[in-house]
Amino acid sequence: MPDGGKTKRKALALKCAALTDIGLVRKRNEDSLWVDAKRGWLLLADGMGGHSSGDLAAALAINYVLNSLLVATKGTRDYVKVLANSVVEANAAIRGAGKQSTADHSMGATFVGALLRPGEMSYVYIGDSRLYLLRNGKLTQLSRDHTLVQEFVDAGHLTVEMAQNHPYRGLLTRGLGVHDEAEPDTGICALHPGDRLLLCTDGLTDMVDEHEIARLLGMPVRVDEVAGSLVDAAKSAGGRDNVSVIVAWFDNQPQQDDDRCAGGAHHQMNVNGLEQCRS
């Protein structure tokens, strides 16, 4: 029976954890993360290997996108458009910064970002950092790698298994700071109760297959423990690259302050305090 909107709607709390690790081989961590659990904003960037100052590019990507979002999300609910514009603006800024510095002229980064609200996620990506959805035990990659190897897979020249270990899998067809024009892809996804989300760099997906990622992401443990187990799995498999993960899901159970949002081993990472979101 209609109640004229007077019934208090059930509160949905966002649980999230962000974790980054230098890995076992690299001398620098070129990944950057930003989690604003209060707003439901999840941002992740990976400084591109082979480019100078990849860590700077990744940090700039996060900062420029974040600044753009803070302005552009005011007064609009069209988050997909806002996200796409923020990436285009970040690309222009990174290109400009690179051109001003002879040392950093080739810096670039991949980027994936998601804006969550109860029941819905808007997302954007460019490069090969990934966004996954785990629903009812099934893992779906919502992003699509902007790589040459992915194009070979799409054309039927390579299998997914062959692509996993292909020596050229890191060759990007799109990225931030790579070209004067950036072409991010965007999407919008309805979120169901029980859905779990993962944003990650290739330091995870190069080392851990999707079957294992699905298993770990679905474990009935705290969100920070899930993030930790994913990073540990990448390191146990060799940890050849920096590995970064953001894990998030909505939960209708009120939570304690100490596990609302968690992170560890932070590198250029910020985790803002979480407040309860309402559906």
Which residues on adjacent β-strands are paired with residue 43?
A: 34, 113
Question: Cα dihedral sign for 120, 125, 129, 130?
Answer: positive
How many chain residues are in contact with Ca ion, going by CB under 5 A? 5
Distance of CA 270 to the CA centre of its chain: 14
63 vs 201, beta carbon nearer Ca ion: 201
110 vs 122, beta carbon nearer Ca ion: 110
122 vs 242, beta carbon nearer Ca ion: 242
Query: Are the beta carbons of 37 and 271 closer than 8 angstroms?
Result: yes
Q: How far is the CB of 148 from Ca ion (least distance, A)?
A: 16
Spell out, one character per residue from 176 to 215, where the chain touches Ca ion: x when CB under 5 A holds, - when not: -------------------------xxx------------
Q: How far is the CB of 242 from Ca ion (least distance, A)?
A: 6
* Helix, strand and coil in the chain, % to nearest 5: 30, 30, 40
Alpha helices in the chain (DSSP H): 54-72, 79-100, 148-154, 160-164, 202-205, 210-217, 223-236
Q: How far apart are CA 170 and CA 148, in angstroms?
A: 8
46 vs 89, beta carbon nearer Ca ion: 46
68 vs 201, beta carbon nearer Ca ion: 201
Spell out, one character per residue from 222 to 241, where the chain touches Ca ion: x when CB under 5 A holds, - when not: -------------------x
Q: Which of residues 104-163 bind Ca ion (CB under 5 A)?
A: none
Amino acid at 265: A
Q: How far is the CB of 129 from Ca ion (least distance, A)?
A: 8
Q: How far is the CB of 112 from Ca ion (least distance, A)?
A: 12
Q: How far is the CB of 212 from Ca ion (least distance, A)?
A: 18
Q: How far apart are CA 260 and CA 93, in angstroms?
A: 33
Q: How far is the CB of 26 from Ca ion (least distance, A)?
A: 9
Which residues on adjacent β-strands are paired with residue 124?
A: 113, 186
Q: Is residue 46 near Ca ion by the rule CB under 5 A? A: yes
What residue ranges bind Ca ion (CB under 5 A)? Answer: 46, 201-203, 241
